[in-house]
Structure 1
Amino acid sequence: MQNADSVVLPHTGDDEHANTSESTPLVGHGLKPLSKRELAISRVQFFALCWSIFLIGWNDGTIGPLLPRIQDYYDVGFATVSWIFVLGCIGIVFGAFINLPLTPTLGFGKMLVFGGSFSIVAYGLQSLRPGWHTFVLSFFIGGIGMAMQDAHANAFVALVKHNNELKMGLLHASYGLGALIAPISATLFAQTPHWSSHYWTSFGLSIINVVVLALVFRLKVQDVCLREGGEHVPEPDESQPPHKFTQILKMKATHLLALYLLTYIGVEVTIGAWTVTFMMIVRGGGSYTGYVASSFFGGLMLGRVILIPVSRKFGEVNAAYLYTVLAIAFQLVVWLVPSFTINAIAVCLIGIVLGPMYPIAMNHSGRIFPRSLVTGAIGWIAACGAAGAAALPSLTGNIAARFGIESLQPFLVVAMAFMGFFWYLVPKHPQRTT
């Protein structure tokens, strides 16, 4: 088991074919100092990726406060409105599938812009309040774009040697920031007749995202962008046959990490999407209960920064167990203590302890996968994990339709327990290809 001070990361690019199956330790010693130009480029690249992840958080934080208005406007119940999550899930999985074969052809920069363009189309449709079927279809389109952007942003930062742990934490803190701000906007618009105007804001932000990604990365491949930011990238070994997809899918670690992240992200988005409804119906919250979702995502953002020292002290693997136990304890408070105020505080605390888990999983992926597979592996795991953002909220909606929204809390407790179990099964040492 490795602690945070001996992070092991591979490093590669879009077209690398390194013949080693070993992961390379990337510690903070022996790194070439960045020139002023390289440092500036690296920071701009990182900011652009943070903005992209910010919008994914914005998307996930939007739906909770607007869900009651969507149900009223389209006159649909819990089970029917859950098709939003189902189609989003299908879109994310589809995006993950097409991401792997398209990346060698288009390259890193073009894939980021391509993925961002799907978000523009999705938000454009949602802002028009079209018919129910078209509205639901827009979440499929948006899911494709989010899968592509999430995969490439995570893979790129995982391959950055300089301040890797901090950058991975900040990258995902930007997700929490987006998910924190979005419910504030969505709650305000939910009080007006034109609730879909929130999606016009999302539409504008997604256009800015595509422009920024195009200007910063200039449609270049990953290796070139990494080198421009001062990262050392080994020359590709063309003797290695390019059967990466098959190799990735043959590795047990791929599927276990995908299961872990699917459950984790599913829990995270389920809390953000359905807790507002639970607090309004069961705890008697008013029209501004949407701010509870903001407190959760604010905690998520905060936890990804302030708990870095805790993760270093205990080691990231052990810290993940600690955070899981605390999350279950706070979730039991929400379930068993019938107080709106105490529940709202507990929801925020859940966000704080859940926050570091995704960056930990991404860093751990970099430790255990061979360098020749890291980009594809992290991309696939991140995209499959993102499917949990649709799968678990959809399942929650169907369970709530049958047993009531009160079923949310025991469902989340069980899901968190499974999350800890999957983390236990994830390999803790570097893996070799077969």
Structure 2
Amino acid sequence: MERSRGSRSSRGSLGSMRAPLLDPESVDAVYGTGEAVVDYDGAPLESWNNPKSNIIKVLVAFVGFTVMGLTDSAIGALLPSIEQHYDLSDVQVSLAILIPFAGSLVSTVLSNWFHYQLGRGGVAILGVTCMLCNYLCAQTCPPFPVLVMFFTVGGMGAGLLNGTWNAWIGAFADAHGVLGVLQGFYALGGIVGPALITYILSQGVPWYFYYRVMAFAAASLLVVDIYAFRKDGPQQYREKCVEDDSSDEESESASFWDAFHLKQVWLLSALVYCYQGTEMGLSHWVVTYMIRARHGDPKKMGLISSCLWTGLTLGRIMLGFVTGRFKNQKRVVSIYFAAALVADLAFWFLTGDIVSSAVAIFAIGFFTGPVYPSAMILATSILPKRMHVPGISAATGLAGVGAAMFPVAIGAALSLLGAPSLQPIIFFFLSLTTCIWIIMPSH
């Protein structure tokens, strides 16, 4: 027995590239039933090992997401060293956080055009090349404006890879499992990055040596990338994106703007904006806080950031399974929020030793880890079905804004009020996120 997935309206434009990730029907997979999952034209859907050439492509994507995790988690651990090297204020060094997001925005605007001109393989190669250029520049320790400019290039490359590989794997028959592993490799990079930086700095090696390691990793990835995606050109991509009915695209475009008329979308956007901003703000500035407020060793405090990332990773994996066993999942996540607030208070007031701080930071990450995926699941319940893709896309877009703006705003606050101000800021926005979650409708 054959079964098809999704709807025609979820194909085509840049906005619809995200559809397989967000529409429950579009990522439905059949396990152990003997049914064949087929595409709209009756052809079997791709999977991680079908065709066989996908195996190496998926492995390349896993490595690429690991490299992105290593890059994103590095900024927070490197901020004190960059700030000291260039003699910058907290606000000035915050540009190193904000600018990569500008590059990511550029990739969002141009991604569809790049796909039609270069194909999926060309976009993957361009993305890795942009990241390699960033690392090659950073490892020379250039003037700060030049460093920031190439951070933008790196952000654009990461944005291209994030979009093309998520959209491609999201259309697999086994999308749930493969996407979970893909995001797991990103988190793995987030764990390893600060630990590696801590080791490098503890050996008396300059901070920019880290980017030499990253340049080697990106260069190796580029070679394998070129080989793996050599047959994924623009012609192949265009053939897969041909629409049988152009009216579907018009309907999808209208529903995107209709999403902004729903209060659920605004609540969801506010939730993920505050959540992502708080998470990234803490990730980027906790090392600086530990050095200035708790007089930690700059060469070792990168481990605190690794504790946060480890907690986030384990929380998303372990508590995700736990949450799914309860009928009232919204209440369960509210309990997670309460536990995270208690952990944050412990981190605030238990200042006796570094170990207690590390445990508290881990707990914050662990209990807030499942919030983001739970919010996406809740969105599919509270939004009309035709609003799933545009509504969630709008919310996740604002989450990216929060991830970029919050660290900059926190950097400005730390410059004016001092490092200890990080604690009340994080507690306030974590409390605000909790309140928004509580008032979110359940259905």
Matched, 1:304 2:316: yes
Residue deviations 1:96-131, cap 9 Å, x none?
Answer: 222355445544443333222221121121111111
Instruction: Provide the C-alpha distance between the structure 1 equivalents of 2:124 and 2:331, rounded to a whole number of angstroms.
Output: 34
Alpha-carbon distance, 1:219 to partner: 6.0
C-alpha distance 127-54 of structure 1, shift in aligned 2 (>3 A) = same
- Pair member with larger Rg: 2
Find the residue that maps to 2:50 and give its secondary structure.
Answer: helix
Change (3 A) 1:257 1:190: farther
2-side partners of 1:178 and 1:250: how far apart?
Answer: 38
Partner of 1:389: 403
Matches within 5 A, 1:239-250: 239-243=246-250, 244=252, 247-250=255-258
- Which residue is 1:327 aligned to? 340
1:250–1:427 Cα change, 3 Å: farther
Secondary structure of 2:286's partner? helix
**C-alpha deviation, 1:174, in angstroms:** 1.5
Q: Deviations over 1:341-371 (max 9, x none)?
A: 2121011122222333344455667786868
User: Is the 8 Å Cα contact of residues 172 and 304 (structure 1) preserved in structure 2?
Assistant: no
Which segment drifts farther, 67-76 or 316-325?
A: 316-325
Query: Which runs of structure 2 are paired with 1:266-345 in the superposition (5 Å)?
Result: 266-286=277-297, 287-314=299-326, 319-339=332-352, 340-345=354-359
The answer to whether the 8 A contact 2:169-2:175 is kept is no
- Equivalent pair of 1:57/1:179 in contact (CA under 8 Å): yes
In the alignment, structure 2 segments of 5+ residues that lack a partner are 18-22, 38-45
Q: Does residue 90 of structure 1 match 2:102?
A: yes
Would the alpha carbon gap of residues 133 and 36 (structure 1) be closer, same or farther in structure 2, given more than 3 Å must change? closer
Q: For 2:122 and 2:72, how far apart are their aligned partners in 1?
A: 24
Letter in 2 for 1:327: A
Query: Aligned to 1:147, what secondary structure does the other structure show?
Result: helix
- Deviations, residues 130-184 of structure 1 (Å, cap 9, x unaligned): 11111122222222222222233333444334261x4333322222110111112
Query: Shift of residue 204 of structure 1?
Result: 1.9
Look up the match of 2:212. Answer: 200
In the superposition, the TM-score normalised over structure 2's length comes to 0.78
Higher relative contact order (CA 8 A, sep 6+): 1
Q: Which string of whole-angstrom CA distances, capped at 9 and with x for unpartnered residues, describes residues 170-200 of structure 1?
A: 3222221101111122122334252201011
Q: Is contact 1:9–1:158 with CA below 8 Å preserved after alignment?
A: no
Distance 1:238 1:297 in 2: 45
Q: Aligned partners of 1:377 and 1:103: how far apart in 2?
A: 24
Corresponding residue number in structure 2 for 1:409: 423
| Aligned pair partner of 1:66 in 64, 78, 89 | 78
Between 69-78 and 50-59, the greater mean CA deviation after superposition? 50-59
1:304 and 1:259 map into 2 onto residues whose CA distance is 21
Q: Does 1:357 align with 2:365?
A: no
- State the secondary structure of the residue aligned to 1:38: coil
Listed as ranges, the gaps of 5+ residues in structure 1 are 1-7, 228-232, 430-434
Contact 1:369/1:377 (<8 A) preserved: no
Shift of 1:421: 4.8
Residue 32 (1) aligns with residue 36 (2): yes
Which amino acid letter does the alignment assign opposite residue 354 of structure 1?
T
> Which residue number in structure 1 is paired with residue 42 of structure 2?
none
Quote how far apart the aligned CAs of 1:403 are. 0.7
Contact 2:255 2:386 in 1 (8 A): no
Post-superposition Cα deviations, 1:291-320, rounded to whole Å, max 9, x if no partner, equal 111122122222232223213213665554
Contact 1:107–1:220 (Cα < 8 Å) also in 2: yes
Number of the residue aligned with 2:140: 128
Q: Distance in 2 between matches of 1:109 and 1:373?
A: 29
Q: Is the 8 A contact 1:44 1:216 kept in 2?
A: yes
Question: Which deviates more from structure 2 when the two are superposed, residues 342-351 or residues 420-429?
Answer: 420-429
- Per the alignment, residue 99 of structure 1 pairs with 111
Cα deviation, residue 75, structure 1: 0.7
Q: Distance in 2 between matches of 1:217 and 1:373?
A: 31
Residue of structure 1 in register with 2:152 after alignment:
140
Counterpart of 1:152 in 2: which secondary structure?
helix
Which position in structure 2 is the counterpart of 1:237? 244
- In structure 1, what is the Cα distance between the partners aligned to 2:254 and 2:55? 34
- RMSD between superposed Cα atoms in Å: 3.9
2:276 — aligned with what?
Answer: 265
Q: How does 1:203-242 map to 2 (within 5 A)?
A: 203-218=215-230, 220=232, 236-242=243-249
The answer to whether the aligner puts 1:251 opposite 2:251 as a matched pair is no
- What is the TM-score when the length of structure 1 is the normalising length? 0.79
Tell me the residue number matched to 1:419: 433
Go from structure 1 to structure 2 and tell me whether the alpha carbon gap of 1:176 and 1:359 turns closer, same or farther (over 3 Å shift): same
Tell me if structure 1 keeps the 8 A contact 2:379–2:388.
Answer: no
In structure 2, the residue matched to 1:348 is: 362
Cα shift readout 1:5-25 (whole Å, capped 9, x = no counterpart): xxx97785546999xxx9637
| Contact 1:116 1:146 (8 Å CA) reproduced | yes
* Aligned residue-pair number: 411
Query: Aligned pair in 2 of structure 1 residues 59, 97: CA closer, same or farther (>3 Å)?
Result: same
Q: 2:414 touches 2:422 (CA, 8 Å); kept in 1?
A: yes
Aligned partner letter, 2:130: F
* AA aligned opposite 1:238: D
Say whether the 8 Å CA contact 2:274–2:402 is kept in structure 1. yes
